[in-house]
């Protein structure tokens, strides 16, 4: 097997990996080097599983897309810092095989494979995905000088869990900068937004999807909060700024919604899809017992994206036909 010909080169995917570097470095500072080892294992498992799937499809021309590294990185960064290695490997293999491989490989999948894998382990191993949240390092050298956080430091709860349990709101500056407990890549709103601007500048991600997701989610959250809607947990609906900065909302809006394969291709469909993701996310967060809604919202919209694009195309074709008939 020649490694030079094994991978399908994709410059766009390397750009996404470049955008993730600041977020990855912050994750090391907050939680130590353990997650890097987990990421390497996830990446290796993703490559092997995709190669085996593609080999079963075409034995002589089996190739692995460089997109597999993006899926592995995004998947890892959505995990809690202390996720067991084997759970992470099971998740990425499931996501790669059932989120992409069964559709025929890269370019044919309708679901985001990283989210398919995370959704599977979220449902299959909920204790590992929802109950273990370590207290991050907050002073230099932080995790750069440690393998992981200390065992006795595993006592923190994420801002969303704290709010749902007591109604207590965190310091918004801490949420913005990232020195709070949470999944590996969701901590710093500042770094996520800067990475999003970089992706838009490089023209590898749709700003329409980002903006429509963020605006619709924030607007509905504001409506629920100021209308006095009560969450399923009994607490008042979260303030819009808290909803925007907490959990994986921004990370999902910047990196997951904009997946170039599972996301819509036309601008009109992108505005509609992003709006739906933002609205569904807030509805799930408010009226269900799930602390996060972004993952489910994106997968739901992924399922309807082909139909959405078809209906928009039919609508446009009807308008063109009507104009021709009116001009005749």
How far CA 225 is from CA of 170, 239, 282, 309, in Å, comes to: 17, 6, 11, 33
Mean per-residue pLDDT, 240-250: 92
Chain segment 300-319, per-residue pLDDT in tens? 999 999 999 999 999 888 88
Say what the pLDDT of residue 150 is: 62
**Which tokens hold the place of 202?**
């490089």
- Whether 3 shows a pLDDT value over 90: the answer reads no
Residue 261 in 3-state DSSP? coil
Residue 107's pLDDT band (boundaries 50, 70, 90)?
confident
Q: Exposure of 227 by Cβ count < 10 A (0-12 exposed, 13-18 middle, 19+ buried)?
A: exposed
Residue 144 has a CB neighbour count (10 Å cut-off) of: 12
Chain segment 269-302, per-residue pLDDT in tens? 999 999 999 999 999 999 988 888 899 999 999 9
Say what the pLDDT of residue 4 is: 60
Say what the pLDDT of residue 247 is: 83
| Percent of the chain clearing pLDDT 90 (strictly above) | 62
Say what the pLDDT of residue 151 is: 53
Chain segment 72-88, per-residue pLDDT in tens? 999 999 999 999 999 99
CA pair distance 153, 137, nearest whole angstrom: 10
pTM of the full structure: 0.93
Q: Exposure of 9 by Cβ count < 10 A (0-12 exposed, 13-18 middle, 19+ buried)?
A: exposed
Maximum separation of any 2 CA atoms in the chain, in Å: 78
């Amino acid at each position: 097997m020649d490694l030079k010909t094994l991978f399908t080169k994709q410059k766009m995917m390397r750009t996404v990996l470049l955008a993730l570097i600041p977020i990855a470095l912050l994750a090391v500072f907050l939680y130590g080097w353990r997650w890097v080892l987990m990421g390497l294992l996830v990446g290796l498992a993703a490559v092997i599983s995709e190669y085996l799937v593609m080999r079963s499809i075409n034995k002589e021309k089996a190739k692995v897309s460089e997109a597999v590294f993006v899926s592995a990185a995004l998947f890892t960064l959505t995990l809690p810092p202390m996720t067991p290695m084997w759970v992470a490997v099971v998740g990425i293999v499931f996501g790669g095989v059932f989120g992409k491989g069964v559709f025929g490989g890269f370019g044919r999948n309708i679901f985001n494979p990283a989210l398919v894998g995370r959704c599977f382990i979220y449902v299959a191993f909920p204790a590992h995905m929802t109950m273990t949240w370590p207290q991050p390092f907050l002073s230099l050298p932080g995790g750069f000088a440690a393998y992981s956080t200390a065992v006795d430091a595993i006592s923190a709860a994420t801002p969303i869990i704290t709010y749902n349990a007591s109604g207590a709101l965190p310091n918004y500056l801490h949420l913005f900068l990232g020195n709070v407990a949470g999944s590996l890549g969701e901590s710093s709103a500042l770094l996520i937004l800067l990475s999003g601007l970089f992706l838009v500048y490089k023209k590898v991600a749709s700003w329409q999807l980002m903006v429509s997701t963020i605006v619709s989610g924030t607007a509905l959250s504001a409506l629920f909060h100021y209308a006095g809607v009560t969450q399923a947990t009994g607490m008042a609906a979260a303030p819009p700024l808290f909803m925007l900065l907490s959990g994986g909302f921004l990370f999902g809006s910047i990196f997951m919604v904009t997946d170039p394969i599972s996301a819509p291709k036309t601008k009109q469909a992108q505005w509609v899809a992003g709006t739906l993701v933002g609205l569904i996310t807030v509805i799930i967060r408010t009226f269900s017992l799930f602390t996060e809604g972004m993952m489910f919202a994106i997968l739901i919209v992924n399922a309807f994206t082909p139909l959405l694009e078809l209906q928009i195309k039919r609508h446009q074709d009807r308008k063109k036909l009507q104009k021709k008939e009116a001009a005749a």
